[in-house]
Structure 1
Amino acid sequence: MSRPNRPLSVLIASDTYPPDVNGAGYFTSRLAEGLAERGHRVHVVCPSAEGAPRVAFNGRVTEHRLRSAPIPFQPSMRAALPLGMGGHIDRVLRRLDPDVVHVQSHFPLSRSALRRGRAAGVPVVLTNHFMPDNLYAHARVPRSMQRAAGALAWRDMIRVAAEADHVTTPTPRAAELLREQGFAGEVEAISCGIDLERFHPRSRPQDRAAARAGLRLPDRDTVVFVGRLDEEKRIDDTIRALARIVPERDAQLALAGTGQREGELRALAAGLGVADRVFFLGFVPDEDLPLVYAAGDAFAIASVAELQSIATLEAMSTGLPVVAADAMALPHLVAQGGNGFLFPAGDPLLLADRLLTVLGPPRIREQLGRASREIALEHDHHRSLERFEAVYTRVRGRGTVRPAVERVVVA
């Protein structure tokens, strides 16, 4: 694997970044911080969390926060405003003179950084975290229009990705999806990675009991989920499955996250008679997430729109058995009968059956959990950082200045 022979200068551009709560934002911040800890000079261009532009210093990472406005229907997230965006990025490029620009999407800020970088002769790497399914609920796209809207969104994404010097995505399945949508270039699958030291097994019963007490959960068999409480996550399937297993197991469900469907999910739990067994933990800060997994006996994810699922990797690294929908990239993380089980997406009956299996005898649970940890070891974030360092080293020097006309038309 090619490694840099000197510290690199990297400009990372992302349309979402903490305090935004989503997988792409978390990945981008961990990438930036990880690269900086390895001695590289890292700057991030992202939306301002307050609205006004500013420069912030987060440890060794310099954040260029661009002027932003709230995203419609998403009051907790902001988007960088187009006016002045291109000029701001140009100034950062001139001051930093990066070896590479790494953009995290095809959305306006990332797209502008890609084109400004190419116009300045800097090679650009694009990582795709995009699936239309993750946007339908946020953009309030009617179900009757989702197929057409998804096709348009994919065409736009593929067109932008074709302008990059190198494209990566988190899993082989995500790379395959890009090719299915018409991307003709090379796609490299690089895991988002997981901090194996932060998320480590705590298998003693007293550890789980202490974690539950810290979260104010009863001390009983606990299924956990970490993520947004939105439509594509299909959390209603998990609640329906819980209602089916409660007569046989003294079990509960802990949901760490917020989202548009929380009210509906609370009503569903009440209607199924399990309101006292479904716990909505709300937003859990990143530093406290290990406690959520430590409180669990199993992790369940019914989502149909995961290009990898950092939360599932975190649960596996903590040593939890996994029950996951057989959809998108989740099968890459589950060895059927090894570290858990898959179930047909949208089938809460089979989800309940799989949960009863993993919540069975402690020796079975521990065996599945050990296998989860072994699989998670393959996703060590240090290995992912090395892979990105190698990509940056390969593309360094490939950048070519684009015709002047393109400098005029970019945002």
Structure 2
Amino acid sequence: MRIAFVSMYTEQLRADGATRRMRRVSERLAASGHDVSVLCAQWWEGEVPEFEQNDVNYIRVTETPSAPKFASKVPFALRRVKPDVIHATNSPPTQVTGAKTAARFLRVPVVVDWWAEREGDSSSACKRAARGPKRVIAPSQMVKTDVREYGASEEAVRVVPESIDFELVREAEADDRADILYSRHLDQYANVESFFLALAELRDKDWRAAVIGDGPERAEAEQTAADLRIDDRVEFLGELPPEEFVPIMKGAHVFAQTAAVEPFANDLLWALASGCVGIVEYQARSSAHELVVNCDRGARVTSPQELADEISAAAGYSQESINEEFASFDHDDVLRRYEDIYADAIEDYGWF
């Protein structure tokens, strides 16, 4: 299958949840034998109009990011690629409009992968992007609700979660350096303060905690731990690859999820698969609670005090290092869901 991704931003140019998701999916599709191109703003050096990395062919649409210019040029780039299906990310939403313009001439379907809106994405442009595509993919029910509110039909939206390497979870050895974990990019939405406030309530208990992740708010997080006088029991491990953080998750007992914004809580998913008891502090713009709704080893709370209480209650759970309940989130299983959506969109398009 010839698949053309349309995304002005790539992870190499602007790393965030949407671009990381697009890169993972595009590279896994390419590794599975599909012909994959990414139409984007140039992120590589030199004058060459195309650049191949990990079997994905990146094609320059514009030299620098410019939403209006990119949207106007992407139809011409798509006509040269001649894909079987167009996979567009939702932001900036004008690129979806450009992709749909090309799709009408090429007579191929557009699938939009909706992660989150970025600053500058207007409501009217988001509505135009949500309406009309054959399929809209959302990582969670929360994001699906957002897309529906923009006007996408119920039958058009499919939920496809993030994925993990479940074989790695099965094979990794446990590293028991920490009892309680927090893991996420430490930005303004990390809300690691709630985690530390809960730990401070448990000063008289015997525990060791670790924070996995890095980011612009790390120094402030370290200062908060010091102010609460728990810094001697909290280890900041920085950014780690799965090969390093999975053993730590398998050795831990509790994973706390407190982030204020989370289209999909991927770190929580890894932790649950690794046997942790997952405790989620409910946040209006986080979908994390969806992962523990029907999970025996999970709980939802609404405050640091409740989080502290649930951490204490987690002592009643057995120590586990794997949870087969989450095997369906393996990379291969989730990739097949993308392939099925593409095939379904192509077949459905043939009826009109």
TM over 0.5: yes
In 1, are the aligned partners of 2:97 and 2:128 still within 8 Å (CA)?
no
Is 2:99 aligned against 1:117?
Answer: no
Structure 1 residue 335, shift from structure 2 partner: 4.2
| Alignment match, 1:26 | 20
| Alignment match, 1:365 | 319
Q: Deviations over 1:354-386 (max 9, x none)?
A: 12233x26x6232xx54xx23312323322222
| Alignment match, 2:31 | 37
1:337–1:184 distance in 2 versus 1, CA, 3 Å: closer
CA distance in 1: counterparts of 2:199 and 2:114, whole angstroms? 34
**Larger deviation: 232-241 or 373-382?**
373-382
In 2, are the aligned partners of 1:224 and 1:296 still within 8 Å (CA)?
no
| Alignment match, 1:192 | 162
Give 2:81's match in structure 1, choosing from 88, 96, 114. 96
| Alignment match, 1:241 | 198
2:166 is paired with a residue whose SS is: coil
1:245 is paired with a residue whose SS is: coil
Gaps of 5+ in 1: 1-7, 70-79, 140-148, 210-218, 401-411
Give 1:10's match in structure 2, choosing from 3, 28, 41. 3
CA distance in 2: counterparts of 1:365 and 1:120, whole angstroms? 57
1:386–1:336 distance in 2 versus 1, CA, 3 Å: closer
1:365 is paired with a residue whose SS is: coil
| Alignment match, 2:264 | 308
Is 2:217 aligned against 1:232?
Answer: no
Query: What amino acid is aligned across from residue 326 of structure 1 in structure 2?
Result: Y
| Alignment match, 1:387 | 337
In 2, are the aligned partners of 1:23 and 1:309 still within 8 Å (CA)?
no
In 1, are the aligned partners of 2:93 and 2:126 still within 8 Å (CA)?
no
Give 1:298's match in structure 2, choosing from 248, 251, 254. 254
Matches within 5 A, 1:205-354: 207-209=174-176, 219-225=177-183, 227-259=184-216, 261-285=217-241, 288-294=244-250, 296-327=252-283, 328-335=286-293, 338-344=296-302, 347-354=303-310
Query: What amino acid is aligned across from residue 189 of structure 1 in structure 2?
Result: V
| Alignment match, 2:311 | 355
CA distance in 2: counterparts of 1:349 and 1:336, whole angstroms? 23
Structure 1 residue 58, shift from structure 2 partner: 1.8
TM-score, scaled to structure 2: 0.84
Give the length in aligned residue pairs.
344
In 2, are the aligned partners of 1:32 and 1:42 still within 8 Å (CA)?
yes
Query: What amino acid is aligned across from residue 378 of structure 1 in structure 2?
Result: S
**Larger deviation: 169-178 or 287-296?**
287-296
2:86 is paired with a residue whose SS is: strand
Structure 1 residue 11, shift from structure 2 partner: 0.6
| Alignment match, 2:59 | 64
CA distance in 2: counterparts of 1:220 and 1:330, whole angstroms? 22
Q: Deviations over 1:34-69 (max 9, x none)?
A: 211221101112344467775322222112355566
Structure 1 residue 125, shift from structure 2 partner: 0.5
1:319 is paired with a residue whose SS is: coil
In 1, are the aligned partners of 2:50 and 2:57 still within 8 Å (CA)?
yes
Is 2:158 aligned against 1:172?
Answer: no
2:212 is paired with a residue whose SS is: strand
1:340–1:18 distance in 2 versus 1, CA, 3 Å: same
In 2, are the aligned partners of 1:191 and 1:384 still within 8 Å (CA)?
yes
CA distance in 2: counterparts of 1:254 and 1:65, whole angstroms? 38
The percentage of counterpart residues that share the same residue type is 22
Structure 1 residue 388, shift from structure 2 partner: 1.7
CA distance in 1: counterparts of 2:7 and 2:335, whole angstroms? 17
Structure 1 residue 248, shift from structure 2 partner: 0.8
**Higher relative contact order (Cα pairs below 8 Å, separated by 6+ residues):** 1
2:194 is paired with a residue whose SS is: helix
Query: What amino acid is aligned across from residue 381 of structure 1 in structure 2?
Result: H
| Alignment match, 2:40 | 46
TM-score, scaled to structure 1: 0.73
CA distance in 2: counterparts of 1:382 and 1:109, whole angstroms? 31
In 2, are the aligned partners of 1:301 and 1:325 still within 8 Å (CA)?
yes
CA distance in 2: counterparts of 1:337 and 1:42, whole angstroms? 36
1:336–1:178 distance in 2 versus 1, CA, 3 Å: same
Structure 1 residue 397, shift from structure 2 partner: 6.7
CA distance in 2: counterparts of 1:14 and 1:399, whole angstroms? 22
Structure 1 residue 341, shift from structure 2 partner: 1.3
Query: What amino acid is aligned across from residue 135 of structure 2 in structure 1?
Result: H
